[in-house]
Amino acid sequence: MRGPCILCLKPAEPLTEEHIFPEAAGGNIAKYILCKPCNDKLGHWVDAPYVDQKHIQLARVTYKIPGKRGNIPQPFSDTYSIDGFDSQLKVKLDKNFAPRVVRQAPKIWVTEDGEIGLSLSLDITDRKDIPKIIRTVLSRFFKSEAGIRLEWSDDKKESAIQRSIDGAHKIEPRSEQIQSPLHGSWTIELKALFTEYVKVIYEICYLEFGSAFIDSLSGERLRAFLTAQCCDEPEPWELIDMAKHLNIAPQVPPNLDDFIKHLTNGNPYTHHLAIVTPAGVVCSMLGMGAIFHIRDLVRTLGATDVATVYISSITEGKSGIFSLDELLVDHQ
Ligand SMILES: [Zn+2]
């Protein structure tokens, strides 16, 4: 398929399949509307920051949605500190959310009576590696300036390594310390959500209104916004000002809430939705959403007869493109 790409507007580019809602967030409605470079750009600068948000990652864990490489992200894989324990001890949660002590760079020092002191921080599951780790770090130390200064014979070095290994085996694991809370924090990047809504709305409007939308003032503004986000340092912008400029309201209107709940069997958190109404487009993704008023489209296209619902369920629910009339009759 060739055509104008709806982002760069180049007329005869080969078109590639674009997932309206990101595939890595469970989106399953795809259309040939973007050239490869634009598809890659939106994937990198718009979809990826969106699917990296913690609440999306959590949905991906809950509903087992793998990415392109087959991996499901662990949303809480940051490093945590532990209450009432020295700051050197750090913990990570593995893919099954089990806490594991993060291996720290070993500390080695020479004591006053000329012995070697060694401190290691390891997870209990690394216990079998202790001899290897100690041998490696001490051998490296003996080759360093401080180690050479000791002027130890090979036998003395070997017996120090052996004593350290024996000593380490005698230390009781302190896993009970991990009963206390883990402290970490995470952030939801509203701009990443907003930018994704703009992308979805832009693509949905094109599917509904065709090239007349691309040529309209709304189309032009949304396209300029999206294009401007596809770089390392986009111009800074304020969420509210930008929403006004693009005619986007931050919430799903309350009268549609009930309808959305109906469409999603009462669980909007498992669905991506875009609803084209006479007044504009509503986009709700995993329970969070935005509405875009297409005033100039109502005027220039007579859009009052347009009414379509795009539903992409990330569970077993209804997915596809439906007529709003049909779904509304069903609702009443
Ligand atoms: Zn393009």
Mean pLDDT of 140-157: 91
Residue 304 has pLDDT above 70, yes or no: no
Q: How far apart are CA 70 and CA 67, in angstroms?
A: 5
The domain boundary, picked from 158, 183, 208, lies at 183
Residue 202, H or E segment? helix 190-209
How far apart are the CA of 37 and the centre of ligand 1, in A? 6
> What is each CA distance from 167 to 55, 120, 121, 128, 172, in whole angstroms?
45, 12, 14, 14, 11
Residue 164 alpha carbon to ligand 1 centre in Å: 62
For residue 147, give both structure tokens. Answer: 């180690």
User: How close is the Cα of 14 to the center of ligand 1, in Å?
Assistant: 9
Under the banding of pLDDT at 50, 70 and 90, the label for residue 192 is: very high
User: Do 251 and 209 belong to one domain?
Assistant: yes
∠ CA 299-301-304, nearest 5°, is 80
Q: How far is the CA of 8 from the centre of ligand 1 (A)?
A: 4
Dist. CA 123 → ligand 1 center (Å): 49
Q: How far apart are CA 253 and CA 135, in angstroms?
A: 65
| Mean pLDDT to the nearest integer, 99-115 | 85
pLDDT for the residue numbered 134? 93
- 302 and 324 inside one domain: yes
Full residue range of the structural domain in which residue 211 is found: 2-70+188-331
pLDDT of residue 49: 95
Hunting for tokens 């087992």 — which residue is that? 64
Average pLDDT value for residue range 291-297: 78
pLDDT of residue 85: 66
- 211 and 286 in a single domain? The answer is yes
Burial classification of residue 278, based on how many CB atoms lie within 10 Å of its CB (0-12 exposed, 13-18 middle, 19 or more buried): middle
Listed residues 157, 183, 209: the one ending a domain: 183
Number of domains within the chain: 2
Tokens 């012995």 map to which residue? Answer: 115
What are the strands, taking DSSP E only, across the chain?
Answer: 2-3, 13-19, 30-35, 79-82, 90-93, 99-101, 107-110, 116-119, 182-183, 248-249, 271-277, 280-285, 288-293, 308-313, 320-323
pTM: 0.80
Do 17 and 111 lie in one domain? The reply is: no
Residue 20 has pLDDT above 80, yes or no: yes
Query: What sections of 21-71 are H helices per DSSP?
Result: 36-42, 48-51, 54-62
pLDDT digits (tens, 9 = 90+) for 218-246: 999 999 999 999 999 999 999 999 999 99
Residue 95 and residue 43 share a domain: no
Predicted pLDDT of residue 303: 54
What 3-state class would DSSP assign to 237? coil
What angle in degrees, to the nearest 10, is found between the helix axes of 324-331 and 254-263? Answer: 90
Length of the chain as a residue count: 332
Q: Is the pLDDT of residue 292 over 90?
A: no
| Cα-to-centroid distance, 172 and ligand 1 (Å) | 61
Residues 292 and 196 in one domain: yes
Q: 211 and 314, same structural domain? A: yes
pLDDT of residue 47: 96
DSSP codes joined into one string, 143-182: HSHHHHHT---HHHHHHHHHHHHHHHHHSPP-GGGGGSPE
Question: Comparing 280 with 53, which gets the higher pLDDT?
Answer: 53
Tell me the CA–centroid distance for residue 312 and ligand 1, in Å: 25
Residues 121 and 241 in one domain: no
Q: Are 265 and 319 in the same domain?
A: yes
